[in-house]
């Protein structure tokens, strides 16, 4: 029996937990083998080495077909060694017979994802779907496990700011090392905190009513930024630049550039607005 956390001997009792449920978290490489099988004995050290090397990117599940005949029949194993890759509860690939290490690596690589990157992608998807409470919860869990991954902390500050929790976002940013505080994305979030400080209260916003002068547009843009309504904020700021570029010493243009920093240069809204801004300015 293996003592490695990445290698498990499979029985009927743990099959559901390790292979079906476990493959929802990371791929499971199922190795069907037998004591009398010489190719199995040649293959197993290679699989063991890779399982240890990949450090949890996949789990090696070993099935002795003589002891687990029911599982061998369920998977329709007709010869050994047979190696199957299960991901998300589904059989996604397999091979038969012993293979050299290089071929097994090539077999594995397309199916393996860095767990941290997978987690970050999940968080990005939640934010994209505006499921900010779930994103915050996942970020806080991830940070507790990866306290030195400052990307996660910066993302948490961004989510808190989008939820209008400016003081909590500020606390996260203040806790970053000095070496991280100069990053453009952090500077953008600091700008977001300024928006929250300057934004009108709900009563002040209501008092603006249908006013459409530069001051009203600017205050409404700040309110939109606090609510993470970036499309409306950008539209209002661009209107000021178009109609009253010198308002308050060009504050609309300066604020728009801070919005670009907050959202990041790869954001589609930033790319689109930069083109319009260039046309407007020149």
Q: What span, in angstroms and rounded, lies between the C-alpha atoms of 258 and 250?
A: 13
Whether residues 153 and 77 fall in one domain:
no
Residue where a domain stops, chosen among 111, 140, 169: 111
User: Per-residue pLDDT for 11 more than 90?
Assistant: yes
Mean pLDDT along residues 18-47? 93
| Predicted local distance difference test score (pLDDT) of residue 86 | 93
The residues that are catalytic are 37, 40
**For residue 76, what is the domain's CATH number?**
3.40.30.10
Q: Which residue has the tokens 């594995």?
A: 108
Whether residues 138 and 154 fall in one domain:
yes
Domain tally, the chain: 3
Q: Report the predicted TM-score, pTM, of the whole model to 2 decimal places.
A: 0.52
Answer whether residue 83 is part of any domain. yes
| Predicted local distance difference test score (pLDDT) of residue 264 | 76
Whether residues 94 and 164 fall in one domain:
no
| Residue 32, token pair as written in the block | 């069907």
Residue where a domain stops, chosen among 55, 79, 111: 111
Answer whether residue 149 is part of any domain. yes
Mean pLDDT of the chain: 90
Residue where a domain stops, chosen among 111, 133, 168: 111
Answer whether residue 187 is part of any domain. no
Q: What span, in angstroms and rounded, lies between the C-alpha atoms of 80 and 43?
A: 11
Whether residues 124 and 94 fall in one domain:
no
Answer whether residue 86 is part of any domain. yes
User: 70-104: per-residue pLDDT in tens?
Assistant: 999 999 999 999 999 998 788 999 999 999 999 99
**Do residues 58 and 28 touch, judged by C-beta distance below 8 A?**
yes
**For residue 222, what is the domain's CATH number?**
1.25.40
Whether residues 124 and 104 fall in one domain:
no
Whether residues 136 and 103 fall in one domain:
no
Whether residues 66 and 28 fall in one domain:
yes
Number of neighbouring beta carbons within 10 Å of residue 205? 17
Whether residues 128 and 162 fall in one domain:
yes
Answer whether residue 188 is part of any domain. no
| Residue 13, token pair as written in the block | 């009792």
Partner residues linked to 51 by β-bridges: none
Q: Which domain holds residue 221?
A: 202-281
Q: What span, in angstroms and rounded, lies between the C-alpha atoms of 186 and 180?
A: 8
Query: Any idea how long the chain is?
Result: 282
């Amino acid at each position: 029996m293996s003592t490695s956390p990445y290698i498990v001997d499979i029985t009927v009792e743990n099959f559901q937990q390790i292979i079906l449920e476990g493959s929802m978290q990371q791929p499971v490489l199922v190795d069907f083998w037998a004591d009398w099988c010489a190719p199995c004995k040649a293959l197993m050290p290679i699989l063991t080495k890779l399982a240890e090397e990949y450090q949890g990117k996949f789990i090696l599940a070993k099935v002795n077909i003589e002891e687990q005949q029911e599982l061998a029949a369920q998977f329709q194993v007709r010869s050994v060694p047979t190696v199957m890759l299960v991901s998300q509860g589904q059989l996604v690939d397999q091979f038969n017979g012993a293979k050299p290490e290089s071929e097994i690596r090539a077999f594995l690589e397309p199916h393996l994802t860095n767990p941290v990157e997978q987690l970050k992608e999940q968080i990005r998807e939640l934010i994209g779907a505006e499921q900010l409470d779930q994103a915050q919860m996942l970020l806080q869990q991830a940070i507790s496990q990866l306290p030195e991954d400052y990307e996660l902390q910066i993302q948490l500050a961004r989510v808190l700011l989008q939820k209008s929790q400016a003081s909590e976002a500020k606390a996260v940013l203040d806790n970053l090392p000095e070496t991280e505080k100069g990053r453009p994305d952090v500077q953008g979030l600091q700008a977001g905190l300024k928006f929250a400080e300057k934004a009108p209260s709900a009563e002040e916003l209501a008092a603006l009513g249908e006013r459409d002068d530069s001051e009203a547009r600017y205050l409404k843009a700040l309110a939109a930024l606090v609510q993470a309504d970036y499309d409306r904020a950008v539209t209002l700021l661009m209107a000021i630049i178009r109609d009253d570029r010198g308002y308050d010493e060009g504050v609309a243009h300066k604020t728009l550039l801070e919005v670009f920093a907050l959202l990041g240069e790869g954001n589609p809204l930033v790319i689109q607005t930069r083109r319009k801004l260039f046309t407007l300015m020149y």
